[in-house]
Amino acid sequence: MTQMIFVNLPISDVARARGFFEGIGFSINPLFSNEQALCVVVSETIFLMVLRQDFFASFITRPMADPARTASALIALSRDSKADVDRITEAALAHGGTEPRPPQDLGFMYSRAFCDPDGNWFESIWMDPAAAASGPPQQD
């Protein structure tokens, strides 16, 4: 059986979330989407379940964090090139997202961060395949 990942995130507005996630290039699986939730297809095995806050709260027994004020997860999305990192981040900004920090270029790895309109934090990263194969850089 193929393993899949479903990352559940609280949102305040399903229609706004649909516009954001479709705007950055993801599709929506209508079989698992309704007025309370969207199933955002990241890949064949990775999905974001963006759930209206009251619906999200029905699955947990702890207080729900406000993603606009606190960080409880950082979702890293690999990209095929630096240009793809820039492309998804610029699309996020054009569809209501924010960029919470400047880009980071370490030579072997390039990343930019963006938050969706509710404040959920994403990192878009590209890593040089040759550098990745040789392992992380050594610290002096």
* Within-domain flag for 110: yes
Number of domains in the chain: 1
- State the Cα–Cα distance between residues 24 and 102, nearest whole angstrom: 19
CATH of the domain at 105: 3.10.180.10
Residue 9 has a pLDDT of 96
* Within-domain flag for 37: yes
Domain that holds residue 52: 5-133
* Within-domain flag for 140: no
Structure tokens at 130: 């040759």
Residue 104 has a pLDDT of 97
Residues (pLDDT < 70) of the chain are 132-140
- State the Cα–Cα distance between residues 87 and 117, nearest whole angstrom: 18
pTM over 0.85: yes
Residue pair 14/24 in contact (Cβ under 8 Å)? The answer is no
* Within-domain flag for 100: yes
* Within-domain flag for 139: no
- State the Cα–Cα distance between residues 114 and 90, nearest whole angstrom: 9
Residue 71 has a pLDDT of 84
